[in-house]
Structure 1
Amino acid sequence: MKITDTQTWTAVVTPMHENGELHLEDLASLIHKQDAAGNGVLVLGSTGEGLALGLEDKKQVVKTASSLNVDVPIMVGVGGFNLRDQLEWIEYCHQFEIDAFLLVTPLYSKPGPKGQTQWFKSLLDAADKPCMIYNVPSRTGVKMSVEMLKELKDHPNFEVVKEASGSIADFQKYSASAPELAFYSGDDALTPFFAMAGCKGLVSVASNVWPEAVHRYVEWALAGRGPELLPLWQECSDILFEAPNPVPVKVLLEEKGWISSSRLRPPLTEDEVKDISLLKNADQMIRNWYEKTN
């Protein structure tokens, strides 16, 4: 299996009961919706609140996701600032039927090129699956190092970069430094622009609520039909990210009846969404677009 066999990956939310405990039945239901749409599934990413979950909760998420016998591939997030913990997590995940790992730039410590290279080489060496390295400086506090990319681009387990800096210039700089690697957009709204710069797919938040529509959106963007997708998708993406991710996504999923509760783990809270009517309007606009394009 190659990560690039799948153009659209969904960074799936982690549903919870009102008391904050995991709602594994809702998680299974969401994964089945992604399977029906043909979207790969990423669990325990930023959207899945992976860093807010304890180890036992994370284990339950991986056990559930890997037990569903879906046709689409499953990717598991690996991220933090303690290397030993991440290596133990990878080793734990090896016992399950998963297909890939997402390796996040180290958090908080802001390592330089040599530190990043040592970090990612350790994780890539430990993994027995293809890996996607995730650049998201707005969350980690440090940009992915070009020097690290050049050093590790030929590692047999390093296949894809998820670029979520929000900068097309950075995307072009990274892809030029490691043309052997595939690059995916980590930003729903920027995907048409990243597609023109050569990206191979999207790791999406919006596909949680619009699985089939985002699948088509990515196909069109990669086929060079970006101008047809704007400004509708930018407008709806802006609404979906008006509050910190994944707050609006969970609120809209509950409104659609796809999860039982929009509960999040602190410090995130549903109270950040001030006007749910905006989310409902965006949902209607995307559903109308999808129906018209059938």
Structure 2
Amino acid sequence: MSIIDTKLWTALVTPLQENGDLHLDDLRSLVRKQEEAGNGVLVLGSTGEGLAMGLEDKKQVVQAVSELDTETPIMVGVGGFNHQKQVEWIEFCQQYDVDAFLLVTPLYAKPGPKGQVEWFKTLLEASDKPCMLYNVPSRTGVKMEPLVLKELADHPNFVAVKEASGSVEDYQNYRKSAKDIAFFSGDDGMLPFFAMAGCEGLVSVVSNVWPQATHRYVEWCLDGRGPELLPLWQECSDVLFSSPNPIPAKVLLKEKGWISAATLRPPLTGDEVEDLSLLKNADNLIENWYNENILNK
């Protein structure tokens, strides 16, 4: 199954034990829940705390998910500011059964258009897998330049863009620069708007805690029914982003019993969540919507 065929990718959290070590059994369990919902899985993105993980931990995550007997497509995050390290990471991951890479705009340095083109081009050439380029200026400090899409649109490994600028105008400008490239919303709450503008799907945080319901949400949005869902999903997704991602998601996953601990790597901490009732209420609202509109239909 290609990147484009998979309409919902879950940017998976990385479960940890109370002492901060990886909890690989919980990780495998979360992948199974996404498999049951028919979702793809992105590991070691920002939601997976990829930049807070040491190299050995990251390797264990890739090994653990790639060794599962699953049909769930696996995408691996590639992001940082040391170019050679990103190339080496791609080369390591390609030894395992992974399906795609998410290539993030370089962090901190704020490169110009030509620097961005060179960064992405060399990473695309290092890969023998299809790649999704990721624009997220709120995290990287720089917006992906349209020149990147224009210059690289014909590269065989460049097949999709994850657009998380939060701007429909920017999205439309990118589409003009690469008309044959698939676009995915990187913001759960923006999907109804991006769907009306022709996007292919969603890379989601909220599907960590609502995998089945979010799968249906994506289907409805791509069918043009997004506006009727917007009030509910905007309210509930806002709760999942009321503290820095992935803090609320991990706290709610622990509350639901899906992971053993809500441990995060510093500088993130679950203490940022001061009112657990907001998360529980959002969980109930989505569960009720799913039961009434899907299960009982």
In the alignment, the residues of structure 2 paired with residue 46 and residue 227 of structure 1 have an alpha-carbon distance, to the nearest angstrom, of: 28
Deviation at 1:189, TM superposition (A): 0.6
In the alignment, the residues of structure 2 paired with residue 175 and residue 24 of structure 1 have an alpha-carbon distance, to the nearest angstrom, of: 38
Deviation at 1:2, TM superposition (A): 1.8
Deviation at 1:49, TM superposition (A): 0.2
Deviation at 1:180, TM superposition (A): 1.1
Equivalent residue, structure 1, for 2:83: 83
In the alignment, the residues of structure 2 paired with residue 114 and residue 78 of structure 1 have an alpha-carbon distance, to the nearest angstrom, of: 20
Equivalent residue, structure 2, for 1:127: 127
Does 2:191 correspond to 1:191?
yes
Deviation at 1:71, TM superposition (A): 1.1
Deviation at 1:18, TM superposition (A): 0.6
TM superposition outliers: structure 1 runs of 4+ over 4 Å: none
Equivalent residue, structure 1, for 2:25: 25
Task: Give the TM-score, by structure 1 length.
Answer: 0.99
In the alignment, the residues of structure 2 paired with residue 74 and residue 227 of structure 1 have an alpha-carbon distance, to the nearest angstrom, of: 30
SS in structure 2 at match of 1:203: strand
Identity of aligned residues (%): 71
Partner amino acid for 2:24? L
Partner amino acid for 1:264? L
Equivalences for residues 211-226 of structure 1 within 5 A: 211-226=211-226
Deviation at 1:230, TM superposition (A): 2.0
Equivalent residue, structure 2, for 1:155: 155
Q: 1:266-289, CA deviations, whole angstroms, 9 ceiling, x for partnerless residues?
A: 000001101000000000000000
Equivalent residue, structure 1, for 2:54: 54
Partner amino acid for 1:254? K
In the alignment, the residues of structure 1 paired with residue 69 and residue 95 of structure 2 have an alpha-carbon distance, to the nearest angstrom, of: 15
Equivalent residue, structure 1, for 2:142: 142
Q: 1:74-106, CA deviations, whole angstroms, 9 ceiling, x for partnerless residues?
A: 000000001100000000011100000000000
In the alignment, the residues of structure 2 paired with residue 276 and residue 205 of structure 1 have an alpha-carbon distance, to the nearest angstrom, of: 18
Q: 1:190-212, CA deviations, whole angstroms, 9 ceiling, x for partnerless residues?
A: 10011001110000000000000
In the alignment, the residues of structure 2 paired with residue 191 and residue 93 of structure 1 have an alpha-carbon distance, to the nearest angstrom, of: 30
Equivalent residue, structure 2, for 1:92: 92
Deviation at 1:69, TM superposition (A): 1.3
Equivalent residue, structure 1, for 2:179: 179
Task: State the number of aligned residues.
Answer: 294
Equivalent residue, structure 2, for 1:238: 238
Deviation at 1:177, TM superposition (A): 1.2
In the alignment, the residues of structure 2 paired with residue 11 and residue 257 of structure 1 have an alpha-carbon distance, to the nearest angstrom, of: 19
SS in structure 2 at match of 1:189: helix
Partner amino acid for 1:16? L
CA RMSD of aligned residues (A): 0.5
